[in-house]
Structure 1
Amino acid sequence: MASIGIFFGTDTGRTRRVAKSIAKKLGDVAADPVNVNKASADDFLGYDALIIGTPTLGDGELPGLACGAQSESWAEFLPQLDGADMTGKTVAIFGLGDQEKYGNEFCDAMAELYDCVTACGATVVGAWPITGYTFKTSQAVVDDQFVGLALDHDNQAALTDERVDAWLAQITPALLEAVADA
């Protein structure tokens, strides 16, 4: 049975493709990725280990109708988690952004996911180094590391698979431990 839930928000489909790649690399331990616009809070909270992904749109925003996304996404989903108890859950976050065009808000939306799940009591794993990127600033940087895996398909697409593999090697033990402890 799949024990790691994968949820994503998207506008162009790039984040969905990364989520599907992650699920394929993890194999049977991962559930099929689910777009949050098709998920309920109960679906999301049904997992003790989660991988969540988002692009950053506009001025560092989560995807959603208010920022011009084509459909509902994280902006509409996160309010469903207000007051949820995620104590004991382990979450890893990945985000897509464009460090050259949007260097002042590179992968900022990851910070919003991070703030939401930590406010609900979840433990976040998978901090990622800021080296190898050329952005100016990001809300997703805490203690000189991204709160999750930062990907730039626009300028560093050739690095995506290598970064995903290294990140999965880092987070998989903690995610599997969370499932085993449940």
Structure 2
Amino acid sequence: MNKIGIFFGTETGTTRLVAKKIHGKLGDEIAAKPVNVNRIAPDDLLQYDALILGTPSYGIGDIPGRSAGCLESNWEEFLAQLQGTDLAGKRIALFGLGAQERYADRFAASLVRVYQSFKDLGAEIVGDWSTEGYVFEHSPSVVDGRFVGLVIDQRTQGMLTDERIEAWLTQIKPLLLEKIAAPA
């Protein structure tokens, strides 16, 4: 597919909102409209070589899904359908939501679980993000001193969301466009 696929899981709609903001900044020419993972089959995601995937944080560092208390299917159920799929050749940028004051001891914890799941399936992950400007005690989503993807705290730092998305897209957009421009 000659566009960047954008997929998200959500429980309250905030991850959907951020996915729509990302899409709006990228535009219809290069990015497909964001789609909830509870409304797709694996083939819908697999048609893209460049992807942006978003997750809320839910439970105690769980992959969001029914076993973590979500009311609807989420990443847990979708990832179960992807088991055994080879994602080599896919380039993926991740974003995750979290509340740094409320969950300072496990800020944005679900992001690393989604990161590890896609990495284990062979995907190339791009778009790590600085921890600067956040205040938290611990985040399992920090690897080598950086978040494994963009982290958004809509609850306490919503005023920084657009600025963070813009800066992150400046970083990842060339990497994702390179993937969709490459001959198959």
TM-score above 0.5 = yes
CA drift at 1:2: 5.5
**d(CA) in 2 for partners of 1:55, 1:105:** 13
**d(CA) in 2 for partners of 1:113, 1:59:** 14
State the match for 2:8 in structure 1. Answer: 8
**d(CA) in 2 for partners of 1:2, 1:163:** 26
State the match for 2:154 in structure 1. Answer: 153
The unaligned stretches of length 5 or more in structure 2 are none
Is the partner of 1:12 in helix, strand or coil? coil
The unaligned stretches of length 5 or more in structure 1 are none
State the match for 2:163 in structure 1. Answer: 162
Identical positions, percent: 53
**d(CA) in 1 for partners of 2:124, 2:82:** 15
TM-score of the aligned structures, taking structure 1 as reference length: 0.97
CA drift at 1:52: 0.2
Tell me if the contact between 2:2 and 2:181 (Cα under 8 Å) persists in the aligned partners: no
State the match for 2:19 in structure 1. Answer: 19
State the match for 1:79 in structure 2. Answer: 80
User: What does the per-residue CA deviation read over 1:16-48, in whole Å, with 9 as the maximum and x for residues that have no partner?
Assistant: 000011111101200010100001111111100
Is the partner of 2:48 in helix, strand or coil? coil
Task: Give the alignment of 1:33-72 within 5 angstroms.
Answer: 33-72=34-73
**d(CA) in 1 for partners of 2:89, 2:67:** 32
TM-score of the aligned structures, taking structure 2 as reference length: 0.96
Tell me if the contact between 2:2 and 2:48 (Cα under 8 Å) persists in the aligned partners: no
**May I ask how many residue pairs the two structures share in their alignment?**
182
State the match for 1:95 in structure 2. Answer: 96
Tell me if the contact between 1:23 and 1:30 (Cα under 8 Å) persists in the aligned partners: yes
